[in-house]
Copies of this chain bind each other. A is one copy, B any other.
Amino acid sequence: MRQSQLFTKTRKEAPSDETAKSAKLLIRAGFVFKEQAGVYSMLPLGLRVQNKIVSIIRREMNAIDGQEVSMTALQDPELWKTSGRWDDKVVDNWFKTKLKNDTELGLSFSHEEPLTRIMKQFIGSYRDLPKFVYQFQTKFRNELRAKSGLLRGREFLMKDLYSFTKDTADLDIFYERAAEAYKKIYNAVGIGHVTYKTFASGGVFTKYSHEFQTLTDAGEDTIYLAKDKSVAINKEVYNDEALTMYKKTTKDFDEVKAIEVGNIFKLGTQYSEPLGLTFADETGKHHPVVMGCYGIGLGRLLATVVEVLGDEKGLVWPKAIAPFDVHVVELNPKQDSVISSGVRDLIVSLEQEGIEVLHDDRIDATAGQKFADSDLIGIPMRVVVSSKTVAAKAFEIVDRASGKVSAGDATEILRSLK
């Protein structure tokens, strides 16, 4: 894509009320637009990153037999009254609205209830189990404070998967498969090295659960990470019981700040019982279905990658989720047609191999502005094209993460991208 055609531009300053490093950089680089506190629109570059994260998660959810659906935001109060979660005293972050006839509706913060109702139509027998259902869907959460940019959104895309099994043994098996899938996801998006499966409270769901916590000073959570990295425990449940379970003492742990980038819960029959989701076993006897839920907030995950990998110059994207693979920065375009044809040949040869190229062809930006913008946007590889590098048939190649500079022609660039 030609950068002169891209409708977004970088900016020097983020809004003054924005304090999170991730939100500041994403706004300055033109990836997102702040509509209001906790509410961000995705602009073309941000949407490209989000779509790549979606593809990675979808691949891993399909690999553990997930079937994709798309449920609605608007929620029927009667359904949530059955489970006891309609009351604002029970769930304190509902957004609620009304039909013309004054019927109250909710905006979904999660989907246990509606999916359980859907599954009642399809699950009758043990032969219908297990089933695993997921979606990428917009959640609404009426957070009292939303000062952390995309790290705590009032509206955000979420991947939520729900498991339906005949007993806790099958739930346990899937729970471990889900945990493994989550690890693959964090590895793929570039934060696996600082993300730990963490023993945590079950919140409204169950006594215990697990969170995936990414170490960063920007984190709102406090966790205790074993010095040998073998165990992580959320502060909420960092007590004698947990220490005994893991056969550790307080001396074995460091206190660190972290961001929760995913969570997995064993729900048991908490929703299937009140909502009447049962199955008949081989003898015809009915049992409530055993459930689990598994969530990843996409906006928070994207922002966490920025918190962990971004530097003082701007965003630093891992290859797998970068908005483009290569940033071709053309110096002094138009003035020198020799350079332009050299650039054209380079871009064609990259795009023919499926490489996604952002081409900075702007004629109204200086070399310095182009390099600064390129650092801010954070595409993994920058290829600088000037009359000098065209003449030498060796483009300057800059690795965004390390800053390492090398030289090479199109063939060498392609080789290093493989």
- Residues of chain A touching chain B, judged by Cβ–Cβ distance below 8 Å, are 5-9, 11, 30, 33, 35-36, 39-44, 47, 50, 65, 67-76, 95-100, 105, 107, 114, 118-119, 121-123, 127-128, 131, 133, 138, 140, 142, 144, 154-155, 364
Contact = CB atoms under 8 A, between A and B. Distances in A.
Contacts of A128: 7
Contacts of A123: 7
A39 B71 CA distance: 9
15 contacts: A5-B65, A7-B131, A39-B72, A39-B74, A42-B71, A47-B69, A73-B73, A73-B138, A73-B155, A74-B140, A95-B98, A97-B107, A99-B142, A99-B154, A138-B138
Contact of A42 (B8, B69, B73, B75): B69
Contact of A121 (B11, B74, B155): B11
Contacts of A7: 67, 119, 122-123, 128, 131, 133
A12 to B, nearest CB: 12
Contacts of A131: 7
B96 A69 contact: no
A47 B133 CA distance: 13
Nearest to A35: B72
Contacts of A11: 121
A40 B154 contact: no
Given A7-B131, A140-B74, A41 B67 contact: no
A33 B68 contact: no
Contacts of A114: 35, 41
A43 B69 contact: yes
A41 B65 CA distance: 20
Most chain B CB inside 10 Å of its own CB: which residue of A8, A72, A95: A72
A138 B95 CA distance: 16
Nearest to A119: B7
A115 to B, nearest CB: 9
Most chain B CB inside 10 Å of its own CB: which residue of A7, A65, A128: A7
A95 B105 CA distance: 10
A76 B9 CA distance: 24
Contacts of A100: 142, 144
A105 to B, nearest CB: 8
B39 A67 contact: no
A44 B73 contact: no
Given A119-B7, A131-B7, A133-B7, A70 B41 contact: yes
Contact of A44 (B67, B95, B140): B67
B35 A74 contact: yes
A11 B121 CA distance: 9
Contacts of A74: 35-36, 39, 140, 154-155
A44 B69 contact: yes
A36 B117 CA distance: 12
Contacts of A5: 65
A11 B95 CA distance: 34
B47 A68 contact: yes
A373 to B, nearest CB: 14
Nearest to A78: B36
A415 to B, nearest CB: 28
Nearest to A70: B42
Contact of A76 (B8, B35, B44, B155): B35
Given A41-B118, A42-B69, 15 more contacts: A7-B122, A7-B131, A7-B133, A8-B122, A9-B122, A35-B72, A41-B72, A41-B114, A47-B69, A50-B70, A73-B138, A73-B155, A74-B140, A95-B97, A127-B364
